[in-house]
Each structure stands twice: as C-alpha cells, then as structure tokens.
Structure 1
C-alpha cells in the first residue's frame, strides 16, 4: 500500500480518487446492449449470455427441480449458518417497520401516511468470481418483510449453465418468486424492459461491477427505479497505535479480495502503525487463494498518515466510504461525528465481514462517495410512503379560503374553482 504522509487538503480529491473507469468509457457498450435487448428480447439475451458467460442456454428460468437438487448439495453446517444470518437480518429489518402516521392538521382536515410495498422488484446477485449468496439474504429478506408480490432474481450462470447451489438454496429459503440465469448488463436490461422470460420490475436492487452500475443508472431513464449506484466495493479503516495491526490488515484484505477494482484505505495518526499494517498485509496476502485479485486492489490502495483525529474525520467525510471501520483509543469521537459512511464498524472485534454476512445490518451500500447522499438498503427501500387526506364540509370551509387565495396568486384559476364551487354549494 502506498504510504502518504500529511497530505495537503487541496490534494485530497486526487489522493482519494477511486480506481474506476469513467461512465463515458463504458456507457456506449451499455447503451448498445440495452437497445438490442429492447428490440429483440430473449434472443439477444441468449446471445449475450453466450458471449459474456461462455454458455448457451436453452432455458434460462431455474426450475423447482433444479432448486431442490441444488439445496441437497448445500451442507447442513452452511445451511445452519445461512439461517442464523437470515434470522438476524430479519430481526433488524422487522424492527424498521413503522406505524401509520395520522394527524388532524386543523378542524375537519385529516392527513395520514402509510407504507405500501413496491409490488415488483428485481434482485441482481453477482456470480462471477464469487457467488454472493449473502446478497440474496440482504435483499430478499427485507423484500419479503415489506410484502413485495413479485421478487425476481437474476444471476449469471457458470460455465456449466448453472447458478451456484448456495444462491438457489438461499433464494428459495427467502421467498424469491422467480430465478433467472442471466447476468451483467443484459440482466438489468431484461428487468428494465421485460421479456418473455424476465418480468419487467418497478425497482432493481443489488451490487455489481462498473458495467452493472452504469446499466442500473441507464434503467432509470426508462422509468425503473434503482436502490442506489453500487459499484466496486471499498473500505476505509481509521486506526491508531491502540489497534491490532493484524486485525486491521485482515479487514483491508477482506475487501481487497472482492475484485481488482476494489479499493481499501488506511487512515492513521501513526506512521509506525501504518508500516506495521503494511507488513501484515504483505504477510497475510501470501496465504489468500484470491491473492492475485487482492494484490491488484492493494496496488490501488493507500495508507494516509494525518496529524490528528479532526483532520482524519474531515478526510474520511470527504471520501464518504462504503464501509468504515474505526479502531482507536477514542472511537466515540468518530461515531458521534462521522457524516458520510454507508455502514460503520466499531472496535477491534467488529470486522467488516460481520456486516457482510450475519450481524443483521444490510451490506448493500452506496459506493464511490454516494454515501454523502444515499442510504444503504433497508426496509424502506422496498416500500413507498403513500399519503392520504380527508376533508369534511367543516374542513373545506376552514381551509378553502386559503387555497383560493394561494391558487389565484399563482395564476391557477381551475385550482381556485375546485374549491370555490364546493364552498358555494355549502352556502346554498
């Protein structure tokens, strides 16, 4: 990891730049795929699946028998672990349910708000270098709690034309209604336009590579909502000499192994500690099966030494990390004052991987600095807040004159008339 000491504030943006391609570099590819799928549907998706995944599928829809067979191959120990995680995630997201908000704003005027589920949602589950069945839990569990009617899952097939057993088992466990073997840009396009095999949905969830991220953003141009821009994974650790260098290195590597375009950053007030962590990173890296991929990510990563906690906090807020670990002798300073982070992990015994799998919080989080404005996925992500109002005769008499005056001032006569007609009838 590149060591940077006390960088000037004017250089922070350059130092903290993510190792991602610009949208312009990949948008033309995404647009081409979208246009072709909008025109030719499943036939084009089949061609792209062969081109990008190297497999030709006669039928992309996963059958009940495939799910049963796959589930039998998942070990009892892993099933137990998945159910433990499911239970914690369910508890945490059920606790996010809110009651109806009801209020009489004035005599005769009643207003209330209720949550209603998004009826059709699409879940994108990356396969590729790691079949992320944990993401199925993070998306399907809250979708089920919210009451979504259709939960469509898309995931790329492997070279044998199959989706990982663990993904299929978890999807069935969590109530997914349809599973389709399709990945990448073509999956997002299918969910956007709808085809004979892929239902059109109202909102698309799930992480992915830069192509998937741009595809999701393009989907919004066609009237489909998305959870957030969620691209390559990232982690920032704030640690001082009170932290354990081995723990910090393991956390950095846990994110680095996600992919070559991942980024991890260490911020510390101690150059000596930064050097100790780097030694641990080099040592632990040698033992990883995904060493080559993690090495690429580490090459994109940095250790930044700053003079004090206040400077560290300002730099972290400027970066807006997806995952933020704090392991210092004053964690409360950061916990109380952090403004921009997707999810925060506190202390020596809270590894980021706990949130990735089983603590209960959601791991689908905003990347690329979007934590400055976006929340991570939560129960509300699968719901809409719908408002209602009911006005009595007494109420329209109380509120009507104000509406008339405001409508007239804006030059909207029909708005005024809608009230005036009612008031005249009540006077007669």
Structure 2
C-alpha cells in the first residue's frame, strides 16, 4: 500500500490535498483492506467515550438543571426547561418560506410512500393440527428522535426520523434538536416548522450526547416544567459524541445505528464524468470538516481529472474552507485499484454510508455490493437526491458499521413478537421429543412441565 499527497498545499492554499492510497498489484485480506482505506484519525472513540460518560452521568443525576448547564456551556444559551412551546411550533410553520414548505411536503410524500411499503407482514404458520406459530410486528410505545444542528440546518432529518416512526404506528414521538442562541434558545425555526408539518408537538431544545441521555433515562418533572418520559428507541444522526452516546445507552434503549459524521464513497471507472464525481464528493464534504469523501477507481486518468475538478469546484463553492479541510483530511482521498473486482472488494471493506456507482453497467455492479448504508446507481442518482427527495432515508450507518447495521427504516420502530398456540393433541405429538431434549440438556423440569399436563 502506498500513501501519498499528489497535490501538496499549505493550510492557507486553495488547492485540495486529496491524498492517494495505491492498492494496485497487491492481494490484500479483508483486514488489510479495512486498514488501508481512508479513515478519520485524531480524536479516538475512547476519548469521546470518556467525555460522553461524564455527560450521561451529569444528566442522570442533575436532570433539567444539568441540561441547562450543558446548554450554557455548549450552546451559549440560558435555559430553565427545554420543552419548546407549541405556539413556537405553529409560528415557525406559519412563517416558513413557501418554496421550502413545498419542498418539505414533496419530501414527506415520497418518504411516506417508501416507508409504507417497508412494513413487514404478520405471518401465521400451521405446523400441524392445532399447532400454530405466528409472528406479529408491533410498534414500540415511544421513541426519541434526534436532529443535529451545528454547521447546517437539517429539516430533512426531521422527515427521515419522523416518517418511518409514524408508518410503524408509534403513538408517542419526542424530538430533540440543539438550542440556537440566534433564535432565543430554541432549535432553528425550520426544524420547528418541519416538526409542526408532521404533527409533532413534543419538541425539546437539547443537543448532543445530553439529548441521547435524556431520551434514554428520562427526566423527572420540576417546578420549571413537565417530565421528559424515557423512550424505547432513539434514532437520528449526529457527530462522534452523539454516535458514542447512542452506543453507550444501547441496551437501555434500542438505537438505529451509529450514524456519525457523513461519508461518501464513489466507485468509478474511466467512463465516469470527472465533474460529476467531484461535485458529489464536495456535496458531502460541505457538511463538516471531518466529513469523508473517497473515490475508488482503476483509472489514473479519472483520478487526475477529478483532482482538477475538486480544486476548481471547491474554490467556487460557498463553504470552500470547510470543503477543502474535509477533502484534505486523512478520512478522504482516492483509492487506486487494479480493476473492478478489487474496487468492489475495497467498497465492501470500507462499508460506506453513501456509495455511488459510476461505472459501465452500474446496476449490475451495484447488485454485487454487500456493505453500504445506501447505494446510488448511475449519473442521475446523486447522494443529494437521497438527502432530500429520493424517498429513501438518509439516516445511515457510518464508520464501517454498514457491514452489520441498516439505515433507519420502519422496522427500526417495530418488534417481532412470536405467538405460540398449541392444542392438547398438538402438544402430545411432540411431548416425547421435549422430554428427550430436556434430559439431554439436564433440565428435567422442562420435560416435567409437559408430562404433568397428561398425568
């Protein structure tokens, strides 16, 4: 493996230092591939865990008072109680720019259609006369949905969290988003408008790991306001602290996945259009200086052309400094491979949150990918489409966790409950097997619980 900077630049320069990882001519194991692909460095999960442990402990012990202190420390706002007044929700929706409202309504409509199609069917299997086993899908009672703030505003994340929860049939939905000093300590008004548009009335001005802790453990009522009841499932994207908090409360509550700082990988060959590849890499880099943008290709000519486009387009985009920092970080770069086969292997090792396929016969290539949060096929399916109006969900696993986690969907908010209903004769038919197996496991009382029914 060779790592180099083919476009060296000082931090003050406008050029993008998009590094190269050269895997050509090597036969690498899965472990070696995972170690080779670009990943974020610097702040470790262990560092984040220590800080998040303190935040969770503070919220559990201090309740709303601790949340107020954290809001002052992290967000610069004074806060007695984080519950957003309903009149603020109504006012935000009333003041929403018509074009933005129209776009949100279209996004909601498409997301609902896809979510409605995801709900699994209940099944009932008859294993014999009087022997019936069923599986019923039942929604959880209450969920806590997190919508990040920080460098951007994410009303789209309100939709991505709320719509599948509603489609699942969840009856109690709470939403949290960071307080904004600019807006009197409330979340951004576009966030509030999106919540109101979806009929969500329980909204809290709480950010970061403290929001996850509040949802997981609940907070008792005080003179300042009502209790925040604990939830059964917490979902939503966020930074490393939010993702770490979700990991630490998993087991107390269910979570969707560790949806941290955004990442995009693009598998491309010589047929790809450099300007489109560059534009899509930049589209995710503008989220955060720690965002990851990775190109995987067997074409040196494409890689060189994409670098030129990155320099040109990054210089012209609004958040140029942020984009250049993300593209120049250790989490971003081009991965050179021998051929499509090695490219697919590199994609599965990376397990991208968003994976674009820009190759010949892109649908066939996409069908061979095993590990990705979401796959975007061809020139006209950019990640930006999925961020807003594809109908798919943009709350997706990051940092390689797409190898074992799914994106947010209706089943995140459902539980599969098995129902066993046997008659006397049906139990008698298998009673001997139960007695034999209970004896083999040295658990004779299991067998006795069956035979007693026939004595």
2:320 paired residue number:
291
1:181 paired residue number:
205
Q: Does 1:361 align with 2:385?
A: no
Extract unaligned runs of 5+ from structure 1.
Answer: none
Q: Larger deviation: 7-16 or 177-186?
A: 7-16
Shift of 1:136: 0.8
Q: Does 1:4 align with 2:21?
A: yes
Shift of 1:296: 1.3
Residues in 1 aligned to 2:54 and 2:23: alpha-carbon distance in whole angstroms = 45
Shift of 1:71: 1.0
TM-score, normalised relative to structure 1? 0.96
Asked if 2 retains the 8 angstrom alpha-carbon contact of 1:268 and 1:305, the reply is yes
Asked if 2 retains the 8 angstrom alpha-carbon contact of 1:321 and 1:342, the reply is yes
SS of equivalent to 1:387: strand
Q: Does 1:236 align with 2:265?
A: yes
1:342 paired residue number:
373
Q: Does 1:145 align with 2:196?
A: no
2:88 to 66, 74, 81: 66
2:243 paired residue number:
213
C-alpha distance after superposition, 1:268-290 (max 9, x if no partner): 12111111111111111112222
2:4 paired residue number:
none
1:253 paired residue number:
282
Residues in 1 aligned to 2:298 and 2:175: alpha-carbon distance in whole angstroms = 44
1:414 to 434, 445, 448: 445
Residues in 2 aligned to 1:32 and 1:59: alpha-carbon distance in whole angstroms = 21
Asked if 1 retains the 8 angstrom alpha-carbon contact of 2:72 and 2:78, the reply is yes
Residues in 1 aligned to 2:341 and 2:101: alpha-carbon distance in whole angstroms = 44
Q: How does 1:48-59 map to 2 (within 5 A)?
A: 48-59=70-81
Residues in 1 aligned to 2:367 and 2:293: alpha-carbon distance in whole angstroms = 23
1:158 paired residue number:
180
2:359 paired residue number:
328
C-alpha distance after superposition, 1:30-74 (max 9, x if no partner): 111111211111101100010000100233111111011111221
Asked if 1 retains the 8 angstrom alpha-carbon contact of 2:93 and 2:197, the reply is no
Shift of 1:399: 1.8
Runs (4+) off by over 4 Å: none
Q: Larger deviation: 193-202 or 306-315?
A: 193-202
Residues in 1 aligned to 2:194 and 2:121: alpha-carbon distance in whole angstroms = 30
Residues in 2 aligned to 1:407 and 1:242: alpha-carbon distance in whole angstroms = 63
Residues in 2 aligned to 1:142 and 1:177: alpha-carbon distance in whole angstroms = 17
1:79 paired residue number:
101
Residues in 2 aligned to 1:375 and 1:322: alpha-carbon distance in whole angstroms = 10
Residues in 1 aligned to 2:83 and 2:200: alpha-carbon distance in whole angstroms = 13
Asked if 2 retains the 8 angstrom alpha-carbon contact of 1:140 and 1:175, the reply is no
1:312 paired residue number:
343
SS of equivalent to 1:414: helix
1:224 paired residue number:
253
Shift of 1:17: 4.0
Shift of 1:175: 3.0
2:299 to 266, 270, 287: 270
C-alpha distance after superposition, 1:95-140 (max 9, x if no partner): 1123221111122210101110011110010011112110111110
1:410–1:177 CA distance, 2 compared to 1 (3 A): farther
TM-score, normalised relative to structure 2? 0.90
Shift of 1:9: 4.7
2:153 to 116, 131, 138: 131
Residues in 2 aligned to 1:175 and 1:339: alpha-carbon distance in whole angstroms = 37
Q: Larger deviation: 37-46 or 400-409?
A: 400-409
Q: Does 1:400 align with 2:431?
A: yes
1:168 paired residue number:
192
Shift of 1:13: 3.4
Residues in 2 aligned to 1:6 and 1:399: alpha-carbon distance in whole angstroms = 57
Shift of 1:176: 2.3
Asked if 2 retains the 8 angstrom alpha-carbon contact of 1:150 and 1:177, the reply is no
1:109 to 121, 127, 131: 131
Q: Does 1:191 align with 2:215?
A: yes
